[in-house]
Chains A and B, each alone.
Chain A
Amino acid sequence: MTRKQRRLVLIGSALTVLAIAAALVLNALRDSIVFFSTPSMAAEKSIPPGQRFRLGGLVQAGSLERGKQLQVKFVVTDGNASLPVMFTGILPDLFREGQGVISEGALDAAGVFKADTVLAKHDETYMPKDVADALKKQGHWKDESAQQQNAAGAKAATSVR
């Protein structure tokens, strides 16, 4: 082995060890790195009322109710489980039924998630409005498939754990 090859092997093995160490650390910290819990993850962890966490999922179609002032109630679902959410404040522009949403807060004694922050999540699809309209008209709209995908994604996230 030449000196160059020896140096290359040394660097390669050092980096491999470091990468494995990083992977182990990230794996151990998985619970804290995950930005939000889906309703099924929340149910599985049986988070006690009053403990703060972030709840993420899709706003169930037809579940949005506006109260007086800026009060809103909606249901967050991941396809398997769902949780009712109460929030008072201004919702982000992208907030709508069927849209991904992340809310921060805690469960109350009745099992309702009292949120003090609501963030909208958007998916990785970008298209002009007329294309979206045309797709809707033709019945190829992504909502169904995307929702199934998201539900499957949420399911995968829970099964990994």
Chain B
Amino acid sequence: MSLIDLANPSRFLKFAERVLPWLAAATAVLMLVGLQQVFAAPDDYQQGATVKIMFIHVPSAWLSMFVWGVMSLAALGTLVWRHPLADVSAKAAVPIGAAFTFIALVTGSLWGRPMWGTYWEWDARLTSVLILFLMYLGLMALWRAVDDPSRAARAAAIITLVGAINLPIIKFSVDWWNTLHQPASVLRIGGPTIHPSLLVPLLIMAVAFSLLFLTLHLAAMRNEILRRRVRTLRLLQASAARA
């Protein structure tokens, strides 16, 4: 099956049904392996056991930006190629991305209190991620505010692309300005500054979180297609009853 075949919602549904159990199983296995590795990982020389928060905080933060990236690609698919599944993908991703951003904010806050001495400060990294979270919430509201899915999709796509400008600001905020948040440890020029014994569990967790997103996204896309079918059937029924 090629990628173009998946553009057909019925084929996509069949594909999703076949792939979802495997994806879910892979997610569960990797999550368990990752958590075991996290449990076995040594404490940090400065932060002690508090460093364990990193294994949830960092993958969630990465995913929060990755999901917006996926939505931006979908937005291009909606606006440029008018791909039938693009807006389904975009709409399905929004709440998942919002959840990851929320987890990143909360775990970061809980981590900040013992290490920095504060739950929250208005530094550039923290503020730009909060803006990302608010934009996710705004998109969720927009999708619900407009009844016609195709009109909602175009408005949401434009907002998504505008919001994508925030992604490089989040990533480089710690390099461009003085911030309370420390600079990048993994995705940086000159290689990671995390010892392998802590880096390996982190990367496993990152892959597990990505698989979790894939699973949830695929399931949410399937649900959205079914929801639209129900909507169409209801509309048909209503117009038939009136005739």
Contacts and interface: CB of A to CB of B under 8 A. Distances in A.
B162 interface: yes
Interface string A31-53: 00111111000000000000000
A124 B144 CA distance: 41
Contacts of B180: 35-36, 102, 119, 121
B208 to A, nearest CB: 19
Interface string A121-151: 1111111111111000000000000000000
Interface residues of A, number: 40
What DSSP secondary structure best describes chain A's contact surface? mixed
Interface in B78-134: 79-81, 114-118, 121-124
A120 B193 contact: no
Contacts, number: 115
Interface stretch (B45-53, B223-231, B234-242): B45-53
A66 interface: no
Given A11-B79, A19-B165, A127-B44, A36 B178 contact: yes
Given A4-B81, A124-B193, A119 B45 contact: no
Given A7-B80, A94-B47, A122 B182 contact: yes
A125 B185 CA distance: 7
Interface of B is mostly: loop
B169 A120 contact: no
Interface of A: 4, 7-8, 11, 15, 18-19, 22, 26, 30, 33-38, 56, 91-94, 102, 117-133, 157
Interface of B: 42-47, 51, 54, 76, 79-81, 114-118, 121-124, 161-162, 164-165, 169, 176-180, 182-185, 188, 193-195, 197-198
